Amino acid sequence: MRRWFDRHMKLVMVLPALIFIVLMIIAPLAYNFSYSFTDWQMSLVKAPKFIGLQNYKEILHDERFLNSVWRTIVFSSIAIVVETILGVALAVLINRKFHGRRVVQALMLLPVVATPVAMGMVWKLMLEPSIGIANVVVEALGFQRRAFLATTGFESMLWLIIIDIWEWTPMVMLMVYGGLQTIPLEPYESALIDGATKWQTFTKITLPLASSSILIAVLMRLIDVIKTYDIIYATTQGGPSFATETINIYGYLNMFAYYRFGKAAAISVLFFIVVMAMGCGFLWVKSKVEVEY
Amino acid sequence: MKKLLALVMVACMVFGLVACGAPASQTTAAEPAAPAAAAPAAEAPAAAPAKADEPKPYDGVTLRVILASHDWTNAMKTEIPKFEAATGMKVEYEVYPEGQLSDKLNVELGSGGQYIDVFMCRPLQEVQQFIKNGFLAPVDDLYADAEFQGDDIIPATLSAYQLSGGDGTMYGVPLVTERQVLMYRKDLFEKAGLSVPTSLEEYEACAKALNGIEPGVVGVTMRGLGNPAVTQFTAYLFACGGDWIDFSGEHPKSLVNTPEAIKAFDFYGRMLREYGPADCLNMHWAECANLFSTGGAAMVTDADSIWKSFCGPDTAVYDKTGFALTPGQHSFNVCAWGLAISANSPNLAAAKEFVKWAAGVEEVKYIQTSGISSARLSSWNDPACTANYPADLLESIQKANEIATKAYDRPLCTSVAAARDAIGAVITASIEGKDVAAAAEKADAEFQRLLDEDFGG
């Protein structure tokens, strides 16, 4: 027995993780996938009935779903672009030696360690148009009071994006900072001798050499930002009038508020495909632009 | 040894995942950290083990009760230990805000419901669905019990716990009733020289005159968040002569885009847009209550059962607030909350005993005395029980009880949540000053689709 263990050590060590993945990820996925082809609604007391691609057909003609896809794309792309630019800038900043750097680093990480739901509630209170502090500031600056999250236009979405940027930019910063630390000094010395400007050094040396960690940070944020649920649920719950409803929120409502299990399953399958496709596409881009050194 | 280690690792990972998976707010919401499963307990009182002192009928029985975070629950927290002492039962209760309560009940009851004994729910929101799914234990025997005095419960509220179009079997007991009332600032009305509005026109004129009468005071506040606003909007829908569903034909028909409904949507949206708070689109009742209780609004209409949050003794406007019937003089009288028993509860007899006690004449009198609108006539007729109510509130409630012809404040269908979302979109459009007719048309199509699904159109 002991020898068997010794011989199959690799398998034994991987097995727990494998069992875990099968039980907790693959099995629910397969289960979900199978139910996406059924008409199953708790409100109607009917056993799941196989209806083929009907759910998918319905969803792809559902204006609310299509709008939620569009909102998810807008939310994710703006958040990702801004978070990456700010994150890299901040990483470069804290990579320099200056007085109190450690304190600045620690302070910047605070949003990341806070619970997103709690932060959502705090932002909701700050942006509350009647009693929130945001309007006090807006008025002090001489502008008209705003409704912030209580608008059905783009403004409520914009504020959610700002909350996401505030919360997750430090995470990008941290990962890029880690990458910057690994860049050797030699290329910089050569650049100095060659008479490169600061901008040239940044674009030709720092960025390419840190590209690997930047791209990893972007990939992780990409997967995360598409799935954003907590801050939206804590602040607007997808409202007012669906103005901030992303695919995630719409899927959640279909499952837990409308009890349309079949439709919710189909939404999550489509969502899964979207996330996978974006992830794979991104990995392809990464392989093209990454620099080895 | 390694095998054991692997097992422990798997267990740790699974536990970690489960712990992470629970919604944060839900875990914090459960007040006493009650264990998930009720102890397997003796069903009949006879099985109680004998103790040194006098044996109690339900010794050793543990009851799992799911409650809503509501004034009723707060008032009962001090009473439950007395019940435990009298019966020997152990009552483990958990408290959730209403949205999470719905999720919790649906998930637990949907997966068998054998770990829940008694639960609080909003009958108009989910009981039709629960009955159709066989989640609820019939409680006709409770109503037949002379001690329980079932005929003392306000008759209009009973329909909330019957299957619509069914045989009249009762599936629960109403606890809290509510009607819509107007709460207004007497001092501001006096300052503006206005009298209390009775019609919608007068209501609008008052809102206009009172808007900005003092710095930071809006004319009126009402729920503006689409889905929750539907119940409060219903009073105005009735006042404009509208209704939600036409049940007269062969198939139920949506009435969401009738001229009456559009008139009501227009009115409700205009009131909030012109004379309401800036953020009304995100306002549920709690936000309205915050605003009114801190003196930020001159008028509000909402459920009378939560009047204390708006203008109770703890608020800044307690002695400045007057009450009247909702303008338009059309009210409903609904059962807002009640108790039901899970069909698969392992402790049916004990669960019924709990319901019989909690919704019994004595406890209800105590509840009513603490200011919660009960569902028992005996409490409403007992001056001692209503002494805590402001006189004009009591008068408006009794008037509303007289004129209320309808026992619902939302569409009576199975897919209530989806219907409320669809209809809520019209309310939002109206508040924003968008094309109400177009929004109503769209909501009508969606609502009709839901009705066809629910009733088989």
Counted domains in chain A = 1
Using the predicted structure, report yes or no on whether residue B47 has a pLDDT greater than 80: no
Q: Choose the weakest-confidence range: B62-71, B167-176, B182-191, B404-413.
A: B404-413
My answer on whether B249 and B274 are in the same domain is yes
- Residue B198 near chain A (CB below 8 Å): no
Domain containing residue A121 = 54-289
Token pair 């794979």 is found at: A280
H or E segment to which residue B170 belongs? none
Is A3 among the domain residues?
no
My answer on whether B165 and B131 are in the same domain is yes
Using the predicted structure, report yes or no on whether residue B207 has a pLDDT greater than 50: yes
Question: B354: domain CATH number?
Answer: 3.40.190.10
Tens digits of residue pLDDT in B421-457? 999 999 999 999 999 999 999 999 999 998 888 777 5
Tens digits of residue pLDDT in A65-97? 999 999 999 999 999 999 999 999 999 998 888
Q: What confidence category does residue B53 fall into, taking pLDDT thresholds of 50, 70 and 90?
A: low
My answer on whether B391 and B438 are in the same domain is no
My answer on whether B339 and B319 are in the same domain is no
Is B321 among the domain residues?
yes
| Most confident among A41-45, B26-30, B235-239, B367-371 (mean pLDDT) | B235-239
First to last CA, chain A: 46
What's the confidence (pLDDT) of residue A122?
92
Q: How far apart are CA A275 and CA A158, in angstroms?
A: 22
- Residue B221 near chain A (CB below 8 Å): no
What's the confidence (pLDDT) of residue B25?
35
Is B82 among the domain residues?
yes
- Give B129's contacts in chain A (Cβ within 8 Å): 42-43, 259
Higher pLDDT, A134 or B34: A134
The pair of structure tokens assigned to A155 is: 């403004």
Chain length of chain A: 293
What's the confidence (pLDDT) of residue A123?
92
Is B443 among the domain residues?
yes
Q: What confidence category does residue B202 fall into, taking pLDDT thresholds of 50, 70 and 90?
A: very high
- ipTM of the shown complex: 0.73
B362 CB burial (10 A radius; 0-12, 13-18, 19+): exposed
**Residue A159 and residue A148 in contact, taking contact as beta carbons nearer than 8 Å:** yes
What's the confidence (pLDDT) of residue B42?
35
Distance from CA of B86 to the nearest CA of A (A): 39
My answer on whether B378 and B250 are in the same domain is no
Written as one letter, the residue type at B312 is G
Using the predicted structure, report yes or no on whether residue B241 has a pLDDT greater than 60: yes
Question: A238: domain CATH number?
Answer: 1.10.3720.10
C-alpha distances in angstroms, B349 versus A166, B67, B171, B360?
Answer: 55, 19, 15, 16
Q: Closest to B428 (Cβ–Cβ): which among A24, A128, A152? A: A152
Counted domains in chain B = 2
My answer on whether B91 and B66 are in the same domain is yes
Token pair 């930019």 is found at: A169
The pair of structure tokens assigned to B405 is: 């012809």
My answer on whether B301 and B259 are in the same domain is yes
Q: Region B118-125: what's the mean pLDDT?
A: 91
Q: How far apart are CA B423 and CA B257, in angstroms?
A: 10
Using the predicted structure, report yes or no on whether residue B190 has a pLDDT greater than 80: yes
Using the predicted structure, report yes or no on whether residue B77 has a pLDDT greater than 80: yes
My answer on whether B328 and B437 are in the same domain is yes
Those residues of chain A that have pLDDT short of 50 are: none
Q: Choose the weakest-confidence range: B47-56, B86-95, B437-446.
A: B47-56
Is A166 among the domain residues?
yes
My answer on whether B413 and B344 are in the same domain is no
Which of B421, B441, B449 should one mutate to test binding to chain A, selecting the residue with the greatest count of A CBs within 10 A? B421
DSSP structure string for A254-285: HHHTS-BHHHHHHHHHHHHHHHHHHHHHHHHH
Domain containing residue B294 = 180-333+409-455
Higher pLDDT, A181 or B34: A181
Is A183 among the domain residues?
yes
What's the confidence (pLDDT) of residue B114?
86
Averaged pLDDT of chain B? 84
Phi, psi at residue B101, to the nearest 5°?
-60, -45
My answer on whether B379 and B433 are in the same domain is no
Using the predicted structure, report yes or no on whether residue B32 has a pLDDT greater than 50: no
Using the predicted structure, report yes or no on whether residue B266 has a pLDDT greater than 60: yes
My answer on whether B240 and B376 are in the same domain is no
B428 and A240 within 8 Å at the Cβ level: the answer is yes
A150 and B281 within 8 Å at the Cβ level: the answer is yes
My answer on whether B228 and B375 are in the same domain is no
**Residue A292 contacts by C-beta under 8 Å, 6 or more apart in sequence?**
none
